[in-house]
Amino acid sequence: MQQPQLDHQPPLPFGPPQKHRQQAALLLEAVLNEAIEPRVAINRWPENHGLEDPSLDCAYQVLWHFESDETQQKTEIFYMDAQLELIRQVANALKANQDLPDHILYTYLKQTPVRFYYPRSFWGASLQAAQTLLQESLRIVTRAWALLPQQR
């Protein structure tokens, strides 16, 4: 009898994906308990070191939206309640090492194709690009200088 094909790989029972989900769940719970501010949780978000995890990407976006919607939270009381409940659901799923429900993944990953959770540090890539640009500029200036007539 043939095994059914899965659309995605199930999470590993132990190892980095579970560790990252546990760290993220603790951060979300700390935000819910008002132990830390959302921006602190965003800055402490676990790096994935190249391991793709749509649930962590989505959880990061949920937290980021919670932080950025401060004005709307003050004017619409039920909006704040809905966001807190969503964060609670996300934290519980991550804590249990479960994938987030499809309706949450769809809302944050399919409708908003922006990825806020990068497989490597944004700053590292930016600094590397700046270094490459600087080296290329130096090479061009050196060649241009060599072509100038020598004044004596």
Asked whether residue 10 carries a pLDDT value surpassing 50, the answer given is no
Share of the chain above pLDDT 70, in %: 74
Tens digit of pLDDT for each residue in 35-72?
A: 999 999 999 988 766 677 888 888 998 998 899 887 88
pLDDT value of position 53: 83
pLDDT value of position 152: 52
Tell the residue number behind the tokens 């497989």, with chain if given.
119
State the Cα angle at 26 between 25 and 28, rounded to 5°. 65
Q: Which residues contact 95 (CB under 8 A, 6 or more apart)?
A: 21, 22, 25, 29
pLDDT value of position 18: 85
Quick one: DSSP state of residue 12? Answer: P
**pTM of the shown model:** 0.63
